[in-house]
């Protein structure tokens, strides 16, 4: 009963907002491509980087909608297959960062005192350095590669979740229902787990949706400067990095991966905005 109502409520919200529907649509397309990629692409052999110099750098045509690259691979094929990698990386980074940041933030916000000071000062330390710059330094130390890029991005990403979870926990800590739980005799850990955490989740879910897009962009950025995935892995950032050398004459090479990065960042951001409206408890009373 309750579940079906929230599904209907979500549908109602999305129907009323073009931006949210667009976000949902873009994300759905990317997820679909990520799932079905290898089976629907026109040139499956091009995924692994089969060299076909006869067809290199062809402009967009009926056979190759977005043209071909410098070794004659179909760009659309490689971009679609790249969706799976980008999505996995984006979701992986976000989940890992939230898994580290949220418990720390909730603990800091609920416990207060020295615990809070310790957690928040370490968090500030990380936040005081621009994220991508820190990530670049970390990858440079760990060595380039997609796994190291992910590790580096998780390390710079979790402090944002500490901040958010802490501020949310702080405001919930002052709510009368927390005092009611204390009066009922609930120990601290139970209050944290049963009352503070569930009531903190809405803004965290919204941030996670938006961060998936940002993480995709960050991984692409690392790929672009050669610190992420290595060719011939079909990764969007790495593709643009190579395509840059062929601008402006072979412009279509950069357009397709660029558009997919753009669409996924936009999609996850708009989806996050839509989720914010749905998860806002005030909208349930309407």
Examine residue 3 and tell whether it contacts other proteins (CB under 8 A).
Answer: no
Closer to other proteins at the Cβ: 121 or 285?
285
Q: Which of 39, 53, 143, 185 binds other proteins (CB under 8 A)?
A: 185
CB of 284 to other proteins, least distance (A): 6
Sign of the CA dihedral with 244 first, then 38, 19, and 201 last: negative
Q: Identify which range of 45-53, 88-96, 172-180, 222-230 contacts other proteins by CB under 8 A.
A: 172-180
Examine residue 54 and tell whether it contacts other proteins (CB under 8 A).
Answer: no
CB of 23 to other proteins, least distance (A): 19
> Within a 13 Å sphere around the CA of 242, how many CA atoms are in the beta-carbon half?
19
The dihedral region occupied by 143, where left means phi > 0, alpha psi between -120 and 50, and beta the remainder, is left
Examine residue 111 and tell whether it contacts other proteins (CB under 8 A).
Answer: no
Q: Which of 173, 195, 207, 276 binds other proteins (CB under 8 A)?
A: 195
Q: Which of 4, 62, 128, 187 binds other proteins (CB under 8 A)?
A: 187
The answer to whether residues 216 and 90 touch, using CB atoms and an 8 Å cutoff, is: yes
Closer to other proteins at the Cβ: 52 or 202?
202
Examine residue 113 and tell whether it contacts other proteins (CB under 8 A).
Answer: no
CB of 196 to other proteins, least distance (A): 10
Q: Which of 141, 176, 248, 249 binds other proteins (CB under 8 A)?
A: 176
Examine residue 244 and tell whether it contacts other proteins (CB under 8 A).
Answer: no
Q: Which of 45, 117, 124, 175 binds other proteins (CB under 8 A)?
A: 175
CB of 170 to other proteins, least distance (A): 16
Examine residue 19 and tell whether it contacts other proteins (CB under 8 A).
Answer: no
Examine residue 179 and tell whether it contacts other proteins (CB under 8 A).
Answer: yes
Cβ contacts of residue 211 below 8 Å, gap of 6+? 90, 93, 94, 97, 157, 160, 268
Cβ contacts of residue 25 below 8 Å, gap of 6+? 267
Rounded CA gap, 153 and 130, in Å? Answer: 12
Closer to other proteins at the Cβ: 54 or 184?
184
Examine residue 151 and tell whether it contacts other proteins (CB under 8 A).
Answer: no
Q: Identify which range of 4-12, 66-74, 226-234, 244-252 contacts other proteins by CB under 8 A.
A: 4-12
Examine residue 276 and tell whether it contacts other proteins (CB under 8 A).
Answer: no
- In the block, tokens 């949310």 appear at 168
- Which tokens in the block code for residue 57? 């750098």
Residues that bind other proteins (CB under 8 A): 2, 8-9, 12-13, 175-177, 179-187, 190, 194-195, 198-199, 281, 283-286
């Amino acid at each position: 009963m309750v579940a079906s109502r929230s599904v209907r409520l979500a549908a109602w919200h999305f129907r009323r907002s073009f931006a949210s529907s667009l976000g949902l649509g873009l994300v759905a397309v990317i997820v679909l491509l990520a799932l079905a990629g290898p089976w629907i692409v026109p040139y499956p052999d091009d995924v692994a980087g089969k060299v076909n110099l006869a067809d290199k750098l062809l402009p967009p045509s009926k056979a190759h909608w977005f043209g071909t690259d410098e070794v004659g691979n179909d760009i659309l094929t490689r971009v679609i297959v790249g969706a799976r990698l980008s999505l996995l990386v984006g979701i992986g980074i976000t989940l890992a960062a939230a898994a580290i940041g949220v418990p720390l933030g909730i603990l800091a916000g609920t416990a207060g005192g020295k615990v809070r000071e310790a957690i928040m000062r370490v968090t500030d330390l990380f936040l005081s350095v621009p994220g991508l710059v820190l990530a670049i330094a970390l990858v440079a130390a760990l060595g380039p590669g997609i796994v190291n890029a992910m590790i580096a991005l998780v390390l710079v990403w979790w402090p944002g979740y500490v901040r958010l979870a802490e501020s949310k926990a702080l405001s919930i800590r002052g709510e009368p229902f927390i005092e009611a739980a204390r009066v009922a005799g609930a120990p601290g850990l139970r209050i944290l787990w049963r009352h503070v955490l569930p009531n903190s989740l809405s803004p965290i879910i919204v941030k996670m949706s938006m961060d998936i897009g940002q993480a995709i962009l960050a991984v692409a950025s690392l790929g672009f400067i050669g610190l992420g995935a290595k060719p011939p892995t079909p990764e969007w950032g790495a593709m643009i990095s190579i395509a840059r050398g062929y601008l402006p004459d072979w412009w279509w090479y950069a357009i397709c991966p660029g558009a997919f990065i753009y669409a996924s960042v936009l999609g996850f951001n708009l989806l996050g905005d839509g989720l914010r409206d749905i998860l806002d408890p005030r909208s349930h009373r309407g």
